[in-house]
Structure 1
Amino acid sequence: MTYDMSGPTRQPQPGIRLHVDLGGDPRPHRSAKIEAHLRVDVAADGAPTDLPAVQLAVIIAVDVAESNRAAVRHALPAALRALPDRISFAVLGSGPEPVRCYPRGDDEWAVADQGARRRAAFVAGSLPLHREGPRPAGYAAWVAGARSLLAGRPVSVRHLVLITDGSSAAATDGHRLEEELEACAGRFTCDVFAVGSDWAPDPLLALAERLHGTAEFVDDGLGRAITAAIQRLRRVHTPQLPIEVTVRPSVRQVSLSEKAPRPHRLGGLPEPGRPHRWSFPTYQWEQGGRDYLLTLVADSDGDPLETELQFAMVSIGDVHAPVTARWHLPEQSPPHAPAGADSVRTLNATARMRSALRQGLVALREHRRDTAEDRLGQAARLAVRFGTDWVLDEIRAVAHIEDAAEGRVRLRAVDTGTLGPMILRAGSRPGGPLADAVGARPGPGCGNCGAPAGSEARYCIACGERLL
């Protein structure tokens, strides 16, 4: 069971396994919420270890003030000298607007070889950075410039590495940045490396979440971090992989969010002429698993009670799995919880743990100590439940944990100006898969209309005919 998203240069393609756990059987009412845990595993299945560098285009953008030149003086040339042969790259420097520094002249892109790396490293030594004068245009200008430049490079993986000290953040950046992130969805991915101490974490986390990358603070080793990010891009087996969800007409809303390894908000694209089918693009699939939360809002009007119903079909390539549930009578209790109920609860609880940690650190930075203790206590209680040691370590840096299981913490005296890196980690740090996946084999097709069906499906979601 394979799926090809990147053209003839990517053979053989990875194998895909899909498993769906339902959160519970809903009570019938106007807007019942149905939650399901999707676990997707991608196996290499003979695919090459590294994506050929010729299939990558990377922009390295340096959004840094002159006063922080030391943070990039040695790291950037080192990262450029480590670029793999035949990768397409460009270097942008800082000004009131992003400035293309390499390659120079009419060429928008350089292709790495020994000479190109040496020239780029030399130019990086005198890279223009923000100086006193006109206020920089903000993060929106960086992603807009990257979108324009990458549009002319039709390769499998297109990526922006943004190095920032926060000096270009603009007061009006929020609305414009949101518009640019909408325009950039699906066009490229982005990793953000924060240097210095004057940046705000929220816009950096927005960049990472919406553009399917990471945001991290780098105090030392920036060159190694850039090189590691490019090496990770080369491990991508499938640059883009849409998760398609076909729903029954009673489903009014559909949302899908990645929970692990990194929290990402996914935008659903309706298919023209097919009002009940949604496609959720995902990016940078490496070998391994991912966990998603699928949420459906459905109405019970006209549906039978206490009858197994298929509310959605989840499809990835030629692998399909149904989302089935039944409407229970309001006055009756379900005979038993679905097997996947614990899985969905775990997915939601780990998301709450990350959110509580981030909210607690933000509250502490804003000197709202009561709120900070409450949120950090929630995070500690959930971290003990799931054995998430890194969350407890983060809390111990700012508070005494008196009783983690009960969620009791007591704040330490901390320099609130140092909390930015911790907030970034709370919002962007990778986590492991939540559960072992069960392989789902490609299901049968409907004999009446040919639509795909999950291996456990009994009726076709497209035409309603019984599957044989």
Structure 2
Amino acid sequence: MSEQPQFTIKVDQNKFLPEGGREVHAIVSVEATGSPVTGRPRGGAAAEVIIIDTSGSMSYPDTKLRSAIAAAQVAIDTLRDGVNFAVVSGSNNAAMVYPPQAHLVPADATTRGLAKDALSRLKASGGTAIGSWLRLADQLFDIHQDGIRHAILLTDGKNQHESAEELDAVLYRCAGRFVCDCRGVGTDWEVAELRKISSALLGSVDIVADPQDLVADFRAMTEAAMGKEVADVALRVWTPQTAKLKFVKQVMPSVEDLTARRADSGPQAGDYPLGAWGTESRDYHICVEVPPGQVGKELRAGWVKLVIPGGPGQEEQVLATGNVLAQWTDDEAQSTRINARVAHYTGQVELAEVVQEGLQARKDGDLDTATARLGRAVQLAEEAGNDAITTMLRKVVDVVDPATGTVRLKKNVDKADEMALDTRSTKTVRTRKGEG
């Protein structure tokens, strides 16, 4: 196995609790550094499946399908030699584009050429049944579970040809088996639907309003996937017997609640899946409830480890560890000091929530709620220094006073702007305004 990134864990918190205090908050920053650019993933393998929507609507306008084909061809060119790959087309059901049989083939000059040629012959017809597309991807990844597994899924529409229950069953089956980045092209797809898929499969979701932007987006997604070197990392959290782990959330680079993903891994410990890693850093917010202790007492409220769980015949690897502490004090100045990073990320989790609630209220015609929620979003984005969200909010509301969150809803809003704000509401920034 080649050298893999060096992982570190840093814990940011105010450990001091007032008398009777029970709730401990910490930001756990995980960083992977120093991996060789040419590093091979654990297991020495990587696998990629590109899923292109070929339902009838992809030909209205036909720039959608043409751009999707060009984007998939660029993604194939971006694959490293030797990476196992396949291309799937999706409509009422899933079909192999390349190779013709349902398996993956190693990328080289010949297979890339054949795959791009097969893509160029795609035609659009039929409906949309995304679960069937993912089911075929899962089948393709089946014998490649030892390395990086990444899928790209592109659609332009709603999942109309299967029930929500059918899609949920497929997502349950696929969770943990591969990572999937989802893209919606145009404005006729459902943000909540694609977010559900990308969230279940630990990927990203975004809008590509203009089909011409697909090529650059597919290249960036594939390059990011090729930069991953360690598959299936988990955050293991141990808490004392009398404590209760209230939540585990990813808060950087985007908000993702991992609490319900826990898999018990030992006495008082659980693993939370983090997907594949390259050279990067991510932040997690952990909250533990502990029974109150006497003034002066210090307690380990949590022990966090970054692990690669061992598969059959493999030992697990511990990559890094850190402690979450609690100490009771009667010094009010100590116990009321809020850790800046905990406050910053708490605000950004709320920001994502109020943006989504505000846009939903606007859709439902509840303009008072929409104004209040989106006003609060403007205020939080301003406080956090989240300029990207501020810019998107200003396309949906007229800002009267950002400090107080006083806004007016715009009468006419471009649907793509509204969907971009919804899709990107969970993207966070690391530092508050005025901080380094």
Give the alignment's TM-score, normalised by structure 2.
0.85
Q: 2:187: which partner in 1?
A: 197
Counterpart residue type for residue 227 of structure 1: R
Q: 1:379: which partner in 2?
A: 377
Of Structure 1 and Structure 2, the greater helix share is in 2
Which of 110, 114, 119 is equivalent to 1:119? 114
Q: 2:223: which partner in 1?
A: 231
Q: Report Cα offsets for 1:139-192 as digits up to 9, x if no partner.
A: 33333322222112244210111010124345721x343343333222110111
CA–CA distance in 2 between the matches of 1:122 and 1:43? 38
Give yes or no for the alignment of 1:72 onto 2:65. yes
Q: 2:312: which partner in 1?
A: none
Counterpart residue type for residue 382 of structure 1: L
Give yes or no for the alignment of 1:261 onto 2:249. no
Give yes or no for the alignment of 1:320 onto 2:310. no
Deviates more, 1:364-373 or 1:376-385: 364-373
SS in 2 for 1:62: strand
Q: CA RMSD in A?
A: 2.6
Q: 2:424: which partner in 1?
A: 425
Structure 1 residues 127 and 35: alpha-carbon distance in aligned structure 2, compared to 1, 3 A threshold: same
CA–CA distance in 2 between the matches of 1:245 and 1:217? 34
Shift of 1:399: 1.4
Give yes or no for the alignment of 1:56 onto 2:46. yes
Of Structure 1 and Structure 2, the greater strand share is in 2
SS in 2 for 1:221: helix
Structure 1 residues 318 and 391: alpha-carbon distance in aligned structure 2, compared to 1, 3 A threshold: closer
Tell whether the 8 Å contact from 1:94 to 1:130 is kept in structure 2 after alignment: no
Q: 1:285: which partner in 2?
A: 277
Q: 2:367: which partner in 1?
A: 369
Alignment of 1:52-201 (within 5 A): 52=40, 55-69=45-59, 70=62, 71-77=64-70, 78-79=73-74, 82-84=77-79, 85-105=81-101, 108-127=103-122, 129-131=124-126, 136=128, 138-170=129-161, 172-173=163-164, 175-201=165-191
Alignment gaps of 5+ in structure 2? 307-317
CA–CA distance in 2 between the matches of 1:314 and 1:394? 36
CA–CA distance in 1 between the matches of 2:337 and 2:228? 33
CA–CA distance in 1 between the matches of 2:55 and 2:84? 26
Structure 1 residues 90 and 314: alpha-carbon distance in aligned structure 2, compared to 1, 3 A threshold: same
Q: Report Cα offsets for 1:204-242 as digits up to 9, x if no partner.
A: 112222222211111222122112111111222323322
The total of aligned residue pairs comes to 408
CA–CA distance in 2 between the matches of 1:232 and 1:389? 24
Counterpart residue type for residue 115 of structure 1: T
Tell whether the 8 Å contact from 1:307 to 1:327 is kept in structure 2 after alignment: yes
CA–CA distance in 2 between the matches of 1:129 and 1:32? 58
CA–CA distance in 1 between the matches of 2:95 and 2:298? 59
Shift of 1:426: 1.5
Counterpart residue type for residue 390 of structure 1: A
For the pair shown, the structure with the greater C-alpha radius of gyration is 1
SS in 1 for 2:268: strand
Q: 1:22: which partner in 2?
A: 13
SS in 1 for 2:66: coil
Q: Report Cα offsets for 1:292-323 as digits up to 9, x if no partner.
A: 011223344xx545411112111222532221
Structure 1 residues 311 and 409: alpha-carbon distance in aligned structure 2, compared to 1, 3 A threshold: same
Give yes or no for the alignment of 1:241 onto 2:218. no
Counterpart residue type for residue 323 of structure 2: P
